[in-house]
Structure 1
């Protein structure tokens, strides 16, 4: 389920393209929201090309496009972006307002804290909480009232929404370490492997997702202009579109900087990061980065600092920047700056010990 969904279109486009993995149980939850407001879901079902007969088939599945269509139609017809989950409606535009309140945060961690706090101001039926324990961050839902027969749809959607928002804010895939839910495994439990990366457990105390806490320190990549465009286009925020993972680039930079002796080559670096060399290169390529470019970036930055801020001999600067010998360092340095390390030092700031 996306955070903000496509509005219903009257065009007769075929929505049955793609795998049908979304369980009909989620459609029935939307139908139940119509029933609660004494409205007829027939038009929304027709727009989404969902046959009414399929609602009574527990094994029926629909495509992502169909789910987007019926959700968007229901949000507008019911004027409730929460689709009946809570004791009061969230009028159309509520989630856009929450995103606008979060987008000015300097880091993902603060943006998610704002989202959790402001969500509670709109709907106190649930409480969202972000906590960090060791290396893991947890986004947890505490139920403040009985969510009834919309419970599964609500908990799944809220966690998917906030995960999708987090990925969009930093323009990065955020792999999950795990997801958990406080109910029995449903008959359609296989879909959870599609909705949430990482293992999913049921019969837990609360609903929650876990991920690497280092993502919380990443700066946001979106601004008000990007938000306006996203809301205008009603872009579905799904996590599957984010192939890049910004955290890996950061981890590689940190390893190269802090442990140069243990990261001289791809095999050593991959072992240090607990990855295979093939996975390391593949994921960096997905992030439009390369190991050599990152090594050059880190080495250059460190070498410049050593040259300008210390009086170490060139040989020691080369070693400090991770080069095996002075000759290879001088050759690389000329490629970076067009001059030698000694010439650069003489032209720069006075050396400090």
Structure 2
């Protein structure tokens, strides 16, 4: 699963330098393990060799993408020295292809974990679901040595990136657990994984809402061929779209109306910026106002049909500041005034 790196991208230094040099040092160790030099790879990625000697150095996502792809080709190892045996060119692409025909993400990830075990026994991947939380766990079956951090981070991010690509959806993480101690560059983990990261944990794992496991696989062979041209983007850059966001917003508006008075409160509750909230809803063909109206209308219908509460009280419970604005909104939604709606529903219920 490798990009074509014969023509180096331009503007490699464009963007924030947030990828720790420790990962480049691990790639250098893979070259040394094979008795090879990485001067050409560093030059193409515009990474100064002297940076490898400075542990506080950082590189851009583009530089990381490029040097990883070059190294995989030169070493003919998509594992970059992590495992007891090399993973030849196309190994991870084969895993994606094996998962492509899955009906849902849950099936695809289970296949990914099972087939990854055919590539190497040095690590073991598994997927479990409990109490609405999906856990993608990585167990270390041998000492990974100097490659440990780079291997664990890369494999987990790769699996997450593929999951996002298969479903055409961002999958926000609820938590990341890593067994190793926090490295000197642990501040980089806010970029590597969204959500909280726990070091010195009892397991290596990613946790996310299990609802994403039910998302359908949306990709085909043609999409796979196109993706493989820049496959490493799946591991070095976050996926933006969130297919479950509309439903999450709808549930929050219905179950936690105290967080739905304005976009700032709602965005904070969902752990995202207001700008991101509006943009991602727009990408899904929805708007916050539309979702608010939909939830309010549904709630208003239930209260009008199943209770005898006065309109003023219903207006307040639905989220309106006064009865008149509620009546005006309800008529725009249904074509009927609230009282007329309630009366007509009662008449139908009492009809013989």
Pairwise same-fold verdict (TM > 0.5): yes
TM-score (norm 2): 0.76
Match of 1:35 in 2: 32
Q: Deviations over 1:15-69 (max 9, x none)?
A: 2222222222111111111122222222212211222222222122222121111
Pick the aligned partner of 1:250 from 247, 254, 276. 247
Is residue 2:174 matched to residue 1:177?
A: yes
Q: Deviations over 1:222-243 (max 9, x none)?
A: 2222112111344611575533
- Write the distance in 2 (CA, Å) between the matches of 1:52 and 1:188: 19
Cα distance 1:223–1:56, how it changes in 2: closer, same or farther (>3 A)? Answer: same
Pick the aligned partner of 1:217 from 214, 220, 227. 214
Pick the aligned partner of 1:104 from 101, 104, 112. 101
How far the C-alpha of 1:131 sits from its partner, in A, is: 1.2
- Write the distance in 2 (CA, Å) between the matches of 1:280 and 1:28: 38
- Write the distance in 2 (CA, Å) between the matches of 1:157 and 1:128: 13
- Write the distance in 2 (CA, Å) between the matches of 1:277 and 1:39: 45
- Write the distance in 1 (CA, Å) between the matches of 2:272 and 2:227: 35
Is residue 2:261 matched to residue 1:267?
A: yes
Q: Quick check: 1:135–1:212 contact (8 Å CA) kept in 2?
A: yes
Match of 2:322 in 1: none
Match of 1:61 in 2: 58
Pick the aligned partner of 2:140 from 138, 143, 162. 143
Q: Deviations over 1:85-110 (max 9, x none)?
A: 11111111111111111122121111
Is residue 2:41 matched to residue 1:47?
A: no
Give aligned pairs, total: 322
Cα distance 1:296–1:264, how it changes in 2: closer, same or farther (>3 A)? Answer: farther
Aligned-residue Cα RMSD (Å) equals: 3.9
- Write the distance in 2 (CA, Å) between the matches of 1:141 and 1:111: 16
Q: Quick check: 1:9–1:47 contact (8 Å CA) kept in 2?
A: no
**Structure 2 counterparts to residues 278-289 of structure 1, below 5 A:** 283-288=277-282, 289=286
Match of 1:348 in 2: none
Gaps (5+ residues) in structure 1? 307-314, 336-340, 342-352
TM-score (norm 1): 0.76
How far the C-alpha of 1:205 sits from its partner, in A, is: 2.2
- Write the distance in 1 (CA, Å) between the matches of 2:329 and 2:246: 25
How far the C-alpha of 1:301 sits from its partner, in A, is: 11
- Write the distance in 1 (CA, Å) between the matches of 2:258 and 2:43: 60
Q: Quick check: 2:2–2:229 contact (8 Å CA) kept in 1?
A: no
